[in-house]
Structure 1
Amino acid sequence: MAVESRFVVIRHGVEAKTFMDKKSADEYDKMLDMADNLVNVFAKSPIELSDSASEELSIYLAQHRDDVLVALLAKKPTKKSPVKKAAKKSAENKADPTPAKLGEAS
């Protein structure tokens, strides 16, 4: 007989999601905490949002917190890897350097 450990995130008495490892469950729970905090911020905003829009937006922002922090200048953007830069440069070199003129037949 096999024994499995499962980690269940429960929010407001409802099972939200089940994970196989504690780290993923903790990260998801933290994301939901951030979303709850954002809903409270939106509630104080002069902009009227429906409950569903407020919830969806808060979850989206919490899921993309790194991008939000970069946008708010609270975090520096991560540098692109040299491999991606080299691939982009290679693709640019392969492209035709002389664009076709409008109305010209190819």
Structure 2
Amino acid sequence: MAVITQFVVVRDGVEKMTFTSKKEADAYDKMLDIADSLIPFIDNAECGLDEATTEKLAFYFATHKDDLSSLLKGTSPNVATAPVKKAARKAAEND
């Protein structure tokens, strides 16, 4: 019989996700904390978004926090620039 260690992220008594490493579980828990903090921030924008849409947007922002941080600093996110560089390099090779 094998022993498997699992780390479970629980919010408000509900299991959200199960991981095999503590590092991954902690990162997911932190991302959920960020999303929870973003919900009131987005609500303050008074854009007329329903609760489900606000939660999805907060989750998206929290999931892509590094890209969002880069954009807020006025720089391009690394993910967005990589495909552009590849496309530019490919176009240069074809010329």
Interval containing the TM-score (normalised by the shorter chain): 0.7 to 0.9
Which protein is richer in helix relative to its size? 2
Percent sequence identity over matched residues?
42
Shift of 1:45: 2.1
Contact 2:68–2:77 (8 Å) recurs in 1:
no
Larger Rg, first or second structure (1 or 2) = 1
CA–CA distance in structure 2, aligned partners of residues 57 and 87 of structure 1: 29
1:66 paired residue number = 66
Structure 2, unaligned runs of 5 or more: none
TM-score (normalised: structure 1): 0.73
CA RMSD of aligned residues (A): 2.5
Shift of 1:2: 1.1
CA–CA distance in structure 1, aligned partners of residues 36 and 18 of structure 2: 19
1:101 paired residue number = none
CA–CA distance in structure 2, aligned partners of residues 46 and 86 of structure 1: 39
1:1-106 matches, within 5 Å, as 1-73=1-73, 77-78=77-78, 88-89=88-89, 91-95=91-95
Structure 1, unaligned runs of 5 or more: 96-106
